Structure 1
Amino acid sequence: MALKRLMQGAVAGAALAVSVAALPATAQAEGEHFVMISHGPDSDTWWNTIKNALALAAEQMEVSVDYLNPPTGDLADMARLVEQAASSNPDGIIVTIADFNVLQGPITDAVRKGIPVITINSGTQEQSDELGALLHIGQPEYDAGYGAGLRAKEAGVTNFLCVNHYITNPASVERCQGFADALGVELGDQMIDSGIDPTEVTTKVEAYLRTHPETNGILALGPNSAEPTIQVLEDNRMAGEIFFGTFDLSAGIAEAIKAGTINFAIDQQPFLQGYLPVVLLTNYARYGVIPSSDINSGPGFVTEENIALVEELAGEYR
């Protein structure tokens, strides 16, 4: 774990051809400034919940937070963003471990500079420790996929499709692998690289189901893959006839759960992944206190039985 070192410095002006969005904040009572770097492309609205959480935490803690991301999800661009953030000497960095090998250098360089780092979302607790981060806040992805697979196995699923809309992220593969292992089958061509364009997802899911009529289970990895898949099942009159689980929540996923098209959604509580790091880094900067262990924000299973509790806030705070 990294030791506390208070850093001071102005934000550097080096700009990259990547999107940078400063989140709203109130006056900086203590002057803390944090930077979060995610791997999410501009087109992925799932990150809006994390952005909302960052903004709320910044307001409540009276700090400022910049949110940075590579517009297309290119991980080389993300690595350069981490370097840019570290060069500005912020009071802390929040970062996803989308690919350990690509991001190891920039993140460890930031830690060596004395910048407190909290990792969130992608990656593992072991990787976070190796990088020298203070702690990791996220969902153990393999375990979440395995838990989903156990539910599918209990329902009688024997042949499945895993719709992976971000196959370059190793954590997404862990979800599919855990699902396959719980079913007791080898992971092969059941995992498709669907991309994130809705039309492309629809085309690839339709093609897979047409050539694999024995498929009786589907796992989607988020709204980008789940919502087009919902449309395919409705168009093919398969909605409710095939076991369907997904990661994450959206308004469309909530409606599909209520309609019986989706059996469950795995909620990793992205709000906590955005909110908690800002609060923890602020307290670390001001008082030198930090939890001594990592924080699992998920998995939690949202089903027809409890969807009413979360659907009102889905896509905003859930």
Structure 2
Amino acid sequence: MKLSKILAGVALTLGTLSATYPLAGYCSTKSGSGMDIWFDTGGPVGGAYNTIVQNGAKQACVDLGCDIRFLYSNWSPQKMIENFNRAMSSSPDGIVVMGHPGDDAFEKLIREARDSGIQVTSSDTELPRLMSEYQSEGFGYAGTDNRTRGTMLASETLRRYPLKAGDRALVWGLKSKPNRGLSTLGMIDTLEEAGLEVDYMEISAELDKDPTLGMPLMTAYLSRHADTKLIMIDHGALTGQLENFLRAAGIGPNQIVTAGFSLSPASATAMQRGYINLIGDGQPFLQGYLPVVQLVMSKRYGFSGLQVDTGGGFITKENIDMVAPLAKKGLR
């Protein structure tokens, strides 16, 4: 079923609920009418990945009738905390967070928001302890289990490509970050269990913000390790730069097995040209759309938090031509 039909069905269902069951005096044909939502998209303005998240949230607000304001954190956990404080000071109906700062950093703030009547839910990176505490009150999660997604991408790569014990692999990731880093650890552990020799590079805060800065790092690594058989990147925007990095290092299509996350116009083109072999698809459009639905349903009708795994699928050379046009539209 096409995504547009699924989302239209969700919107129709919610609209019918509002008209048929006007709880607490709400009689609007759109369930979110009059609601004010703040949404931290995680990345920078115009970032490849978080723009798709933003597009999903925008569509949800069109469908449900709520107002939305977007925040941008350049993938900085500290900035996410600052943005949460900023959002909370405006007393909105709901706030969507990404869980990169971790449970400890968010705990006091989310408790304060909840005590003030502000609904909170999460996207992209889970906050397991806070969700356990507040799920019955509407705190949900739309995204992937980070440890699982890293393990699955590494396992699928090993299944598809003739890599063997002793082969050199590079993992470029974020293992220093709480919760978010579990994806990177899943990759490393899976590859090491298969006997590969794994090198690791941490994505710096500067590189997290601007992935084009990764070119000299990648070319320097490959010049020192010409025997590299596999590159895995735990970062959507950085995955989108892989073709540029490999070209700069003098590496041609399909010379090194490459895998990463998050479809974008750049990564779609790179896959079609043979510079990316496998993409783990977390479906960020849904990571934007579903948290807005969560806030509306919890705020208006008292529904508890939903935990929705938006990932589990893979983009490959077999299906890239079908989804590449959707990537250009900012839907996939």
C-alpha separation in 1, matches of 2:303 and 2:224: 56
| 2:53 aligned partner | 50
- Contact (CA 8 Å) 2:282, 2:313: kept in 1 or not? yes
Q: What secondary structure is seen at the aligned counterpart in 1 of 2:331? A: coil
Give the C-alpha shift of residue 296 in structure 1: 0.5
| 2:4 aligned partner | none
2:70 maps to a residue whose letter is Y
How does the TM-score come out when normalised to structure 2? 0.78
| 2:215 aligned partner | 202
Summarize the Cα distance change of 1:60–1:187 in structure 2 as closer, same or farther, 3 Å threshold: farther
| 1:174 aligned partner | 182
2:315 maps to a residue whose letter is V
Q: 2:201 aligns with which of 187, 191, 197?
A: 191
Q: 2:88 aligns with which of 71, 86, 89?
A: 86
Task: Verify: 1:67 aligned to 2:70, yes or no.
Answer: yes
Summarize the Cα distance change of 1:29–1:317 in structure 2 as closer, same or farther, 3 Å threshold: closer
Give the C-alpha shift of residue 127 in structure 1: 4.7
Summarize the Cα distance change of 1:187–1:168 in structure 2 as closer, same or farther, 3 Å threshold: farther
| 1:246 aligned partner | 260
C-alpha separation in 2, matches of 1:213 and 1:176: 23
Summarize the Cα distance change of 1:192–1:111 in structure 2 as closer, same or farther, 3 Å threshold: same
1:268 maps to a residue whose letter is G
- Contact (CA 8 Å) 1:86, 1:110: kept in 2 or not? yes
Q: Mean Cα displacement is larger for which, 201-210 or 255-264?
A: 255-264
The share of aligned pairs that are identical, in percent, is 27
Give the C-alpha shift of residue 198 in structure 1: 4.7
Q: What CA RMSD, in Å, does the superposition of the two structures yield over aligned residues?
A: 2.8
| 2:152 aligned partner | 147
C-alpha separation in 1, matches of 2:327 and 2:32: 32
- Contact (CA 8 Å) 1:163, 1:225: kept in 2 or not? no
Unaligned 5+ segments in structure 2 are 1-22, 24-29
Q: What secondary structure is seen at the aligned counterpart in 2 of 1:99? A: coil
Matches within 5 A, 1:122-141: 122-130=125-133, 134-141=139-146
Deviation string 1:136-166 (CA, Å, 9 cap, x unpaired) is 11111111111111123232433211233x6
Give the C-alpha shift of residue 182 in structure 1: 1.2
C-alpha separation in 1, matches of 2:40 and 2:258: 32
Q: What secondary structure is seen at the aligned counterpart in 2 of 1:31? A: coil
Unaligned 5+ segments in structure 1 are 1-5, 7-26
Q: What secondary structure is seen at the aligned counterpart in 1 of 2:106? A: helix
| 2:12 aligned partner | none
How does the TM-score come out when normalised to structure 1? 0.81
| 2:323 aligned partner | 310
Summarize the Cα distance change of 1:152–1:87 in structure 2 as closer, same or farther, 3 Å threshold: same
